[in-house]
Structure 1
Amino acid sequence: MFAKTFISIALALSCVATAQAKDWEIYGKINVSAQQSDEGEGSFGELKSNASRFGIQGDYALEEGLTLIYQLEWEVDPSDEANEKNIKSRNQFIGLQGVFGTVTAGRHDTALKLSQGKLDLFNDYEADLKSLWKGENRMSDSVAYSSPSFQGFKLLLTHVMEDEADAKSAQSYAVVYGDESLKDTAWYASIAMDSEMNGYDASRATVQVKVADFKLGAMVQQQEEVETGEKADGYMANIAYPLNKWELKAQYQTLEDDDGISAGADYKLGKNTKLFGWYSSFDFDTKVDSDYVAVGIEHKF
């Protein structure tokens, strides 16, 4: 399986080169940390890969003002399992861009997941939003649409096909405003909802602002399990502050009686490389509390 995957990658690269694409690149990141974890049965150390990944993406100019776009991305784990357990699929799609916006088909993050922008300061770590909330979905059989920007506003739509006779399709919708990196605008905001997505309906509102050098963020979510009708509400708030080569950050998230708090710092070693450390603690109503502390390194290429 592992060998077949890399043969497929090589073939994809060959096809791209043959087509003489307008632009294509291999990209990725390696993020590995030494982590001490306590999940109720005693503390233990482990080496963790935090969504390390690589991929191929590019575009190709067509007629009628259209551009073909594509992306093939995989997650890898340099710290743990080998062979076929080491690699799994992430966003993989083909699509078209034009004056109408962008349409893609394949495996893709849903509109609701994308609507968070870069708000989650502990994305891919133990305190990732998905640790408490539903809605962080990357779905196969997805047709996705992103509109052109109109006075800073964009519309995101996702339709997930049934894939089998007795299944249901699912939809995800979002309206976003501003620059998620807070470079072109001083604030970013979005509202989003899921319908029948992975067994849940969910709605989410997000806002992030830059005040002086501080980045302040907040998010509220409502979710309902479709089969049982069980509902849950939660909110999240965070703050980040740059200090020379450091970025200091803290985040708090709840879902009903469950909550988690995290604090950490990143230290920039270069344009694409950083050291980091963080601590996360979860207080659960119906299961054992958990605590984590980690230090690590990330390099993007």
Structure 2
Amino acid sequence: MLKKYSSPHFRRLAYAIALSLPVCSTAVAEPFTFYGKLNVSYQYADEGEGRFSDLKSNSSRLGVKGEVALQDNLTAFYLLEWQVDLADLSGDDNIKSRNQYVGLRGNWGEVSLGRQDTALKMAQGKLDQFNDLEGDIKNLWRGENRPGDTITYRSPKWQDLRFTGTFIAGEKDGPSSYSTSLTYGDAGLKSQPWYLVVANDSNVEGYDIQRLGGQYKLDNWVIGAMAQRQKRESDGDSRKGWLLSSAYTLQQLGLKLQYQELEQDWSLSAGVDYPLAKQVKLYAFVTRQDKQELPDKDWLGLGLEFRF
């Protein structure tokens, strides 16, 4: 029974978690929190080469995070997160690195070093109503990057304004790149009913990107909009796109609709969420994607998400 869990990646993950466990009982702060999100859907798909059904793990993840208070109002923090596949992959392919960094926080903001979502990616907040599913904005737009070799600075909030900057070191002879964002309001739409963002990538993964977006909550409605311009550095190819998203709470049901466009390419998604508990929900979605140079694609899915 133990043989199938003996891959080097699994042993390293288990060792990292086990190594952190003793700290929990000795430190005054909370240096260790184990968390995860498990998301699996059964999908009926037509991706241009025939129809088929499939079970898919949608960016399921496990992680550990923590922080320790230091002197002079400083706090040291870390996060280690891995993507796991509950449906298809096994062995070494089952575990992939996600955000993994260490940093310091003070009255001046926070600095983190490691592998991390860029400032532009983080700044989208919850504008993408179909994040991690087939309607995820990454399936049409560039800019959803999580590079290594990053240094990220996040300022404290000034009158609901916050600046975030990511510096990505160039490897060997490669150029360095940058990602920045300026946000206003509350990305979770809890302390404030609005959220605005302007963000920019400079030669990140070979693209220059400008992104402008906003989201507003009114009673049971949440309405969002985003525009993007992306230019490929290698040949100067430039494309523009926009997105509209909405969500409506009807008793216990969460109804969602999202349309995204990039020049002549587009994606349309509709879905419904049904919470079974605070951490568990059932959901269903349908997505159609139309790209000019590829066959049309359609997905119909029913899934379960568990957070802890």
TM-score bracket, shorter-length normalisation: over 0.9
Matched, 1:111 2:122: no
2:167 corresponds in structure 1 to 159
1:62 corresponds in structure 2 to 70
Q: Distance in 1 between matches of 2:174 and 2:295?
A: 34
Matched, 1:92 2:100: yes
Normalised by the size of structure 1, how large is the TM-score?
A: 0.97
Matched, 1:47 2:55: yes
1:289 to 284, 296, 303: 296
Matched, 1:243 2:281: no
SS of the residue corresponding to residue 261 of structure 1 reads: strand
Q: Distance in 1 between matches of 2:246 and 2:190?
A: 17
Tell me the amino acid that sits aligned with residue 107 of structure 2: V
Give yes or no for contact 1:74–1:88 (8 Å, CA) kept in 2: yes
1:271 corresponds in structure 2 to 278
Q: Deviations over 1:181-213 (max 9, x none)?
A: 111111100000000100000000010001221
Tell me the amino acid that sits aligned with residue 169 of structure 2: M
Q: Distance in 2 between matches of 1:105 and 1:54?
A: 20
Structure 1 residue 145, shift from structure 2 partner: 0.5
2:45 corresponds in structure 1 to 37
Structure 1 residue 35, shift from structure 2 partner: 0.5
Tell me the amino acid that sits aligned with residue 79 of structure 1: A
Structure 1 residue 12, shift from structure 2 partner: 4.0
Give yes or no for contact 1:21–1:59 (8 Å, CA) kept in 2: no
Structure 2: runs of 5+ lacking an equivalent: 1-7
Q: Distance in 1 between matches of 2:267 and 2:256?
A: 14
Give yes or no for contact 2:199–2:211 (8 Å, CA) kept in 1: yes
Tell me the amino acid that sits aligned with residue 85 of structure 1: D
Q: How does 1:108-257 map to 2 (within 5 A)?
A: 108-164=116-172, 166-257=173-264
Q: Distance in 2 between matches of 1:43 and 1:199?
A: 34
Give yes or no for contact 1:33–1:294 (8 Å, CA) kept in 2: yes
SS of the residue corresponding to residue 149 of structure 2 reads: strand
Tell me the amino acid that sits aligned with residue 116 of structure 1: Q
Tell me the amino acid that sits aligned with residue 162 of structure 2: K
Cα pair distance change 1:162/1:19, threshold 3 Å: farther
Tell me the amino acid that sits aligned with residue 265 of structure 2: D
Q: Structure 1 stretches (4+) deviating beyond 4 angstroms?
A: none
Give yes or no for contact 2:61–2:83 (8 Å, CA) kept in 1: yes
Q: Distance in 2 between matches of 1:10 and 1:210?
A: 39
Q: Distance in 1 between matches of 2:150 and 2:294?
A: 34
Structure 1: runs of 5+ lacking an equivalent: none
Q: Distance in 2 between matches of 1:113 and 1:255?
A: 17
Q: How does 1:76-91 map to 2 (within 5 A)?
A: 76-91=84-99
Structure 1 residue 144, shift from structure 2 partner: 0.2
Give yes or no for contact 1:113–1:136 (8 Å, CA) kept in 2: yes
Give yes or no for contact 1:110–1:137 (8 Å, CA) kept in 2: yes
Matched, 1:9 2:9: no
1:72 to 80, 83, 94: 80
Structure 1 residue 11, shift from structure 2 partner: 4.6
Identity of aligned residues (%): 42
Tell me the amino acid that sits aligned with residue 74 of structure 1: W
Cα pair distance change 1:155/1:15, threshold 3 Å: farther
Tell me the amino acid that sits aligned with residue 222 of structure 1: R
SS of the residue corresponding to residue 120 of structure 2 reads: helix
Q: Deviations over 1:103-162 (max 9, x none)?
A: 000000000001111110000001111011000001100100000000000000000001
Cα pair distance change 1:202/1:26, threshold 3 Å: same
Q: Distance in 2 between matches of 1:192 and 1:48?
A: 31
Give yes or no for contact 2:17–2:64 (8 Å, CA) kept in 1: no
Q: Distance in 2 between matches of 1:8 and 1:18?
A: 18
Normalised by the size of structure 2, how large is the TM-score?
A: 0.95
Give yes or no for contact 2:40–2:57 (8 Å, CA) kept in 1: yes
